Structure 1
Amino acid sequence: MRKQSLLGEGTTNRCGTVEGVDLSLRLLQSLEAVAAEGSMTRAARVLNLTQQAVSGQIRQLERVVGTPLVERRPTGIELTPAGEVVLKQGAALLSSAQAMVTEARLTAAGRPDPLRITFKAQSTAHFMPAVEAALRREAPELEVRPIASHTLPDEIDALVEGRADAAFLWLPIGDDPRFTIHPLLEEDRWVALPPGHPLESRTTLCIADLADVPVVGPRDGMPDAVVNFWFIDPRPDGRRAIFGPQARTPEECLHLVAAGHGCWIAPASTVTYFAHPKLTWLPLVDAPPNILALIWPKHTANPLLHLLLDQTRRTLHPTPLPTATT
């Protein structure tokens, strides 16, 4: 987390500091996340902090400004009029500070190496082009080199072997301490059903509805915790999931479902990316959500990764995705 101070109105002393205002960028980042998420808990997840830390930073920002910036309502946390002002002006300050740091680092380093990002197309198509455009505005000399992957092991191998600098991937990734993990967003889970399936006339599904339905998907090379999450195994009632045929790619999963071998449980963004003429997609309303994250190896020195993270967070949240209804 960046630790720079922003200077506001006040009296400048001989050292160039400003008396009366000591505003850290991290406070503005917390307000931005709370405004986007409408929740301290969800903002903490996005920022990879504790809920207590985010709440404390909001209180600290309110002390700096001298007035309440958020208010809690039954529908969630909303900004006060003063909070809206701080959010608007703070976004400009954050962008300016990031541009300053990026330009200085690129100037010192010369033309940067390509930023290599591994991703799954169906998970990132709704935001990655906009992120790349934002990166080009901030760092015109930067080349973004996308690397398409199909499975979690593909993405992890690309990072470990040095073929990629960062990865957009779904959590969990298992007990792997080698990476810095930045959760970005949550998506509902949806289920692809084969043609003529008895459940296809429903508008929503619950986990219990899939008790006797095999689930297709990749398993080889996956940590047990990852397989358990994606296949929802065991089920809330203690029953074990029925494992259908394995499939490595989304296209293989869709084929197996269309051929009647079972269902496929996937994130909401998959529904908008794959329009299969033979399948029915239904939301799974009581399953834990999928969480998309940006990760990179710990102790990396690439200064562009935080720029990538910042621009991704700014791009993601206005994007609508299919929402499960109960």
Structure 2
Amino acid sequence: MPVQGLHRAPDADAGPVVGLRDDLAPAYQQIQEAVARAIATGKAVTGTLRVGFSSQWAGDAVIEAADVFRQRYPDSAVRIQEVQLTDPFGPLRSGALDLQLTEFPVAEPDLVAGPVVFSEPRALMVHARHPFARRESLCLEDLARTPLVAVSGDVPQYWLDHHYPRCTPEGRPITHSATAAYWQEVQSLVATGRGASPVALRAAQYYARPGIVFVPIHDAPPIEYGLIWPVNGGTARVRAFVETICEVAA
């Protein structure tokens, strides 16, 4: 026989617990969605990614990132190759590369200019007997006092003007005495006194040789190195490598 009047008292703590659960639900859902995206991305990152670089220090950054990338995505592989100065965008446009770490600026309608990965101070590479070789540093106006060796080839004019200017900030003309298709030619022309060449200061660590001196340019903006890829080439592999190399460089 049921006992009249006997019933369970309401749980006084139920309200706060339910409220906390409701408050946490959106955050929990976001975590679940983030995990699901990470799993999906990991499954999508397979196959071979072809990455180019334009300088040895950029190559070092790519190689270091590739090691981390392979650990994160064991079903993927990374092939790395150097890109020549005379055709900086050709391999990307031909499909030989998927991604490239190179000197900015890049303003091409068929290429995406992604994040800047790192930057380097500028210097002037001069012959060891050049008057500038005894200086601790130079300014941009000094470029009007010596001929420059420039790069030839299929290189955009805006890129050349940025790295091999034809006038100083005050408008003084800068002479270009010779052009070179490859970096080794630039070094040889400088070493034989045919001209000077703007470079990243880090080049002194990689290309030191008799007859050449690297002098910092104290008022020049740094050279920025960023990632570029074709407009239609933003695959899961590319996005994952961009994220990886930015993390490694940082």
Give me the TM-score of the superposition, normalised by structure 2. Answer: 0.82
Structure 2 counterpart of 1:142: 76
| Offset at residue 167 of structure 1 (A) | 0.8
The separation in 1 between residues aligned to 2:49 and 2:199, in whole angstroms, is: 28
Task: Report the secondary structure of 2:190's partner residue.
Answer: helix
Alignment: residue pair count: 229
Preserved contact between residue 122 and residue 269 of structure 1 (Cα < 8 Å): no
Larger relative contact order (Cα-Cα within 8 Å, sequence gap ≥ 6): 2
Change in 2 beyond 3 A, CA 1:156/1:98: farther
Q: Aligned to 1:245, which of 175, 178, 183?
A: 178
Which residue type is aligned with residue 115 of structure 1?
L
Q: Aligned to 2:210, which of 266, 277, 296?
A: 277
**1:114-129 alignment runs, 5 A limit:** 114-129=48-63
If each structure's strand is expressed as a fraction of its own residues, which one has the higher value? Answer: 2
Structure 1 counterpart of 2:235: 302
Task: Report the secondary structure of 1:291's partner residue.
Answer: strand
Change in 2 beyond 3 A, CA 1:241/1:176: same
Deviates further, 128-137 or 217-226: 217-226
The separation in 2 between residues aligned to 1:269 and 1:98, in whole angstroms, is: 39
Q: Aligned to 2:124, which of 191, 200, 213?
A: 191
Structure 1 counterpart of 2:6: none
What is the root-mean-square deviation of aligned Cα atoms in Å? 2.6
Preserved contact between residue 105 and residue 303 of structure 1 (Cα < 8 Å): yes
Give me the TM-score of the superposition, normalised by structure 1. Answer: 0.64
Is 1:179 aligned with 2:118? no
Q: Aligned to 1:102, which of 38, 41, 46?
A: 41
Identity, in percent, stands at 23
Preserved contact between residue 126 and residue 196 of structure 2 (Cα < 8 Å): yes
The separation in 1 between residues aligned to 2:219 and 2:48, in whole angstroms, is: 41
Runs of 4+ residues over 6 Å off in structure 1: none
Is 1:258 aligned with 2:191? yes
**1:1-326 alignment runs, 5 A limit:** 11-13=20-22, 17-18=26-27, 100-106=39-45, 112-151=46-85, 154-173=87-106, 175-182=107-114, 183-317=116-250
Give ranges in structure 1 of 5+ residues lacking alignment.
1-9, 24-92, 107-111, 318-326
Task: Report the secondary structure of 1:137's partner residue.
Answer: helix
